[in-house]
Structure 1
Amino acid sequence: MISTSKNLQAVDSWQQVLAPYNVGYRVKLLSQLLTRKFTERLEPFGLTPFHWLVLCCLWQEDGLPTSCIGEKLQQVGGTLTGVLDRMEERGLIRRERDSSDRRIWRIWLTDAGSQLETVLPPIAADLREQAMCGISHSEREQFSQLLNRAIANLS
């Protein structure tokens, strides 16, 4: 017969892998909450969090090939193509064929897409501050590093 203390240890170890206590569930919950709040803040601009991600890529380096954006965002082509279609319809980006390789489409910001760089990052920063309220700078850095390590472990 297994002792009571061993039973309690087994229950405690299982608690760490069962929802709602496990890390995966809590990371997913955090992601859903952040996405919901960010979606609400982007709604007045007619944007989604995916639009935000594409804009971030282009603010860092305009004129990226579609495939490069997809790699950075780890997205499949069909999903990205639809998002780029809607962004082009809204006048945020334009597509041009690469001058040296006609198979490649490069994505460029329009003036409207560029202007959002002064508006949207402060909104994202405000949400980040709301989420990280009461968490020190060093704890934030450690949290980020731990997330990066867990992502790398599963990639």
Structure 2
Amino acid sequence: MTVKLISAQVSGRGIVENLFRYYLYDMAVFMGWRVNKNGEYDVNLSLLDEYWSEPDNHPYLIQYQGEIAGFSLLRRYPDEESNYDIGQFFVLRKFEGKGVGREAFKQSVALYPGPWLTRVLHENKSALGFWLKVIAELTDGDFQHQTEVDVDLPMHFIRYQSVAAET
């Protein structure tokens, strides 16, 4: 399996914005968002600005066998800047169940060793199962999982340590 993370820093913003619409579609089931009169989800793409403007935030495209498969948007968590955070992570449904998300996650956190945080909506049980499984694999089960509030939403917070990728 060939999964690659490609920096979206230079020319990938438009691709991430396009993929973000599919991400919103998937998230709408949990958030209850409605489409507008044009049949689109209203999206404030300036929410992505921090990934291209903050020095410790890093946007990546996920590529599988040469095809764009999703994105991994990494940042310092605003309330705990010592922790890296999976800000947004998305794999197109076409690639689900192929190990693409698992491999992209492992590559993402290996780039920035140290303390990490992954947040998951309470309603998104399939995502929670995925994250608990891949984080347990990465850490040999050494992680903390609890409910906390992120801005105004109670969420699953999973805290763990990442080590540098082996070369």
Normalised TM-score (structure 2): 0.27
Q: 1 or 2, which has the higher helix percentage?
A: 1
Q: Decide which structure has greater strand share.
A: 2
Higher relative contact order (CA 8 A, sep 6+): 2
Pick the structure with greater CA Rg: 1
Query: Normalising by structure 1, what TM-score?
Result: 0.29
